[in-house]
A and B are shown apart, each in its own frame.
Chain A
Amino acid sequence: MIRNKNLGSRIFDIFNYIFLGFLMLTCFYPLWYTLCVSISNKAAANAGLVTFYPIGFSLVSYKEIIGDKLFFNSFWISIQRTVIGSAFSMFITVLMAYPLSKSKREFKARNIFMWILVFCMLFNGGLIPWYLTMQNYHLINTIWALILGGGVPIFNVILVMNFFRNLPKDLEEAAVVDGAGPWRILFQIFIPCSIPVLATVTLFIGVYHWNEFFNGLVLMNTSDRYPLQTYIQQLVVNIPTGTNLTPEQYKRLSELSNRTLNAAKVFIAMVPMLIVYPFLQKYFVTGIMLGAVKE
Chain B
Amino acid sequence: MLLPGMIWLFMFSIVPMFGIVMAFENFNPGAGIFHSRWVGLDNFKYMFQLNDSKTVIANTIIIAVGKLVFNLLIPLIFALLLNEVVNLRYKKLIQTVVYLPHFLSWVIMATIVIGIFGYNGVINTFIKTFGGQPKLFMADAGIFRQLLIGTDVWKEFGYNAVIFLAALTSINPNLYEAAAIDGANRWQSMLHITLPALSTTVVLLGVLSLGNVLNAGFDQVYNLYNPLVYSTGDIIDTWVYRLGLQNLQYSLATAAGLFKSVISFILIVISYNLAYRFADYTVF
A residues apposed to B, CB below 8 Å: 1-4, 6, 8-9, 12-13, 16-17, 19-21, 23-24, 26-31, 33-34, 37, 46-49, 51, 91-93, 95-96, 98-100, 113-114, 116-118, 120, 122-133, 137, 148-149, 151-152, 157-158, 161-162, 182-183, 186, 207, 210-214, 218, 229-230, 232-233, 236-237, 239-245, 247, 250-251, 254-255, 259, 262-263, 266, 269-270, 273, 277, 280-281, 284-285, 288-289, 292-294
Contact = CB atoms under 8 A, between A and B. Distances in A.
A293 B201 contact: yes
Contacts of B11: 133, 137
Interface of B: 1-2, 4-6, 8-9, 11-20, 22, 78, 81-82, 84-87, 90, 93-94, 96-101, 103-112, 114-116, 118-122, 124-126, 136, 138-139, 154, 158-159, 162-163, 166-167, 173, 176-177, 180-181, 185-186, 201, 204-205, 218-219, 222-228, 237, 240-242, 244-246, 250, 253-254, 257-258, 260-262, 264-265, 268-269, 281-284
A273 B104 contact: yes
A247 B138 CA distance: 10
Given A33-B115, A250-B226, A127 B253 contact: yes
Nearest to A148: B12
Q: Which 10 A-B pairs have the closest CB atoms?
A: A129-B19, A126-B257, A48-B120, A211-B105, A125-B16, A96-B5, A239-B226, A2-B180, A129-B16, A125-B17
A51 B122 contact: yes
Given A128-B244, A247-B228, A186 B253 contact: no
B223 A127 contact: no
Given A19-B81, A123-B265, A247-B228, A158 B283 contact: yes
A41 B241 CA distance: 38
A116 B185 contact: no
B167 A96 contact: no
A175 B5 CA distance: 25
Nearest to A130: B16
B87 to A, nearest CB: 8
B246 A33 contact: no
A128 B2 contact: no
A127 B283 contact: no
B246 to A, nearest CB: 7
Nearest to B211: A122
B5 A118 contact: no
Given A3-B180, A133-B16, 19 more contacts: A6-B185, A16-B84, A17-B87, A26-B154, A31-B100, A48-B124, A95-B2, A126-B261, A128-B253, A128-B257, A131-B244, A213-B219, A232-B107, A237-B223, A250-B138, A281-B96, A284-B162, A293-B166, A293-B167
Contact of A229 (B1, B6, B105, B264): B105
B20 A92 contact: no
Contacts of A31: 100
Nearest to A96: B5
A25 to B, nearest CB: 8
